[in-house]
Amino acid sequence: MNLKMEISNILIMGGSGPIGQALAKDLSVKSNIYLFDKKIKKIHKKNIKLISGNCFKLNDLNKLPKKIDIVFFLIGIKGGPESNNIKNLDKYIRYNFETLIFFLNFLKKKNIKKIIFSSTEHVYGDNDISNNKCLNLEPFPKNYYGFSKLLAEKCLYNFYKKTFVSVDILRIPRVVYFDDKGIISKIIINFLTNKNIFLKKIRAKFNFIFIDDLITAMNICALQKNTRFRILNIFNDSRPASLLNIAQKIKNITGKRNIINVANHYSINHNPTRLSVSNRFAKSSLNWRPLFSLEKIIKKLITHYESKKKI
């Protein structure tokens, strides 16, 4: 990986989220970094400039630098149980699709080199599609979150076809970071505080990526030029795990005796149930290897929360 390559301006749209903040701190490309968001969290680095604004307001977008080389587009809202409700469709379309449309129309005036877009595993729905077929088979999302992200992907493909600007679509599972309030952290905290574990009985199994592995992959995407249009599954190498699998792993690692209770009836769930996605293409094209398996993620989080408890 050539770390000597210099790019003048990198823009992170949605720079106040955990991914945007981690990316801004750890970008290995020598550049000016612009963070754009409604509410900007300050980062103490000389090369980072903060721009407060709304992606739907042209006056705010006009605050951006005239020259932009690479855009990380992280703006959007997450899924969840409400993503199954058609009443929320307008909300997902607005924040995960229309924000991108408005921004791309603005970008037509710019001479940019690359867009790196954060998508989701939810575009697949319950389908099991290996990565070499991503461009040939139509995913079938099971919730409106995945649907809105798939629409955004298609919009970016059309943008690439018209402009020849390189586009990397990063399809990402649950991102794990310290104090993320995700399912792994919640179960760990219950174990460490000697609370019994209550799990819903659902058919879904979960994939994860630790934030350090994601940021490394994003760094490599920024360093690679003229990559045309790519879809990259940024997953770790672990198999999907059920809630019970996760809880049992945590119990074995901590040595705790908390009782794990599982509901007798299946709950309706918005998550893919049979999703097993290959990351082979991402590893080969990026020359990237995820360092954190599910077990390593659990151990790292346990160490973190145990140290917080001591403090």
DSSP class of residue 84 equals: G
Give pLDDT, residue 277: 85
Give pLDDT, residue 2: 44
pLDDT, greater one: 47 or 283? 283
**What is the average pLDDT across 149-178?**
96
Give pLDDT, residue 115: 97
Measured CA to CA, the distance from residue 134 to residue 137 in angstroms comes to 6
pLDDT, greater one: 189 or 108? 189
pLDDT of 41 over the 80 cut: no
Give pLDDT, residue 270: 86
Q: What is the pLDDT of residues 216-225, one digit of tens each?
A: 999 999 999 8
202 touches 271 (CB < 8 A): yes
Average pLDDT, the chain: 90
Measured CA to CA, the distance from residue 12 to residue 37 in angstroms comes to 9
Place of tokens 């106040």: 16
11 — pLDDT class (breaks 50, 70, 90):
very high
DSSP result, 58-82:
HHHHTTS-S--SEEEE------SGG
pLDDT of 1 over the 80 cut: no
**What is the average pLDDT across 60-65?**
94
The closest of 293, 212, 310, 206 to 253, measured between CA atoms, is 293
Give pLDDT, residue 207: 94
The closest of 262, 245, 242 to 198, measured between CA atoms, is 262
Measured CA to CA, the distance from residue 212 to residue 88 in angstroms comes to 32
pLDDT of 179 over the 50 cut: yes
Map out the domains of the chain with their CATH numbers.
6-176+207-236+277-292 (3.40.50.720)
Give pLDDT, residue 136: 63
E strand or H helix at 216: helix 211-223
Q: What are phi and psi of 214, to 5 degrees?
A: -65, -45
Give the predicted TM-score (pTM) of the model. Answer: 0.92
pLDDT of 253 over the 50 cut: yes
Give pLDDT, residue 134: 57
4 — pLDDT class (breaks 50, 70, 90):
very low
Q: What is the pLDDT of residues 255-298, one digit of tens each?
A: 999 999 998 888 878 888 877 788 999 999 999 999 999 999 99
Give pLDDT, residue 132: 53
123 touches 138 (CB < 8 A): no
Q: What is the pLDDT of residues 102-160, one digit of tens each?
A: 999 998 767 899 999 999 999 998 765 545 555 567 788 989 999 999 999 999 999 99
